Amino acid sequence: MSFPTNVGTLSVYAGDTFSQTFTFKEDDVAIDLPDEGWGSWTAQYRRNPDSTTAVSFAVDTTDAATGQITISLTATQTTTLEPGVFDLQATQGSVVRTWVRGGLNVTKDVTRG
């Protein structure tokens, strides 16, 4: 596996809750991420890589022992998003690794409450 893995462009519908689960495997076997020492998972969206304004994803590591990490944004967070980029990284001691990167395509919603 080369890092970061480009996952392409994910679609977000503005005003809706968004979540995406990534499953990390090596030789088709799920990586036990905590057992390998990976923690402090974090993910951010930015309009472009140089933007100083970021939106942080919630990162769920409940299933990290089976290689699964889920990132999510609230409906309020997605309301103001424009198309942009994101990545997901973790630490293993002093090592920082970006695991995935990609784009976000945002479709503006029609129904607003």
Residue 12, in any domain of the structure: yes
Residue 71, in any domain of the structure: yes
Residue 10, in any domain of the structure: yes
Residue 49, in any domain of the structure: yes
pLDDT of residue 2: 75
Tell me the sheet residues that pair with 86: 45, 102
Q: Is the entire prediction scored with pTM above 0.85?
A: yes
Taking only the tens place, the pLDDT of each residue in 27-56 is: 999 999 999 999 999 999 999 999 999 999
Residue 104, in any domain of the structure: no
Residue 31, in any domain of the structure: yes
Taking only the tens place, the pLDDT of each residue in 53-106 is: 999 999 999 999 999 999 999 999 999 999 999 999 999 999 999 999 999 999
Q: Which domain holds residue 37?
A: 5-99
29-66 in b/e form (b: 16+ CB < 10 A) is: eebebeeeebeebebbbbbeeeeeeebebebebeebee
Please report, as a single letter, which amino acid is at residue 101.
R
How many domains is the chain built from?
Answer: 1
- Where residue 21 sits, what CATH number does that domain have? 2.60.40
- Residue 98's φ and ψ, nearest 5 degrees, are -85, 120
Tell me the sheet residues that pair with 69: 22
Burial of 20 (0-12, 13-18, 19+ CB in 10 A): buried
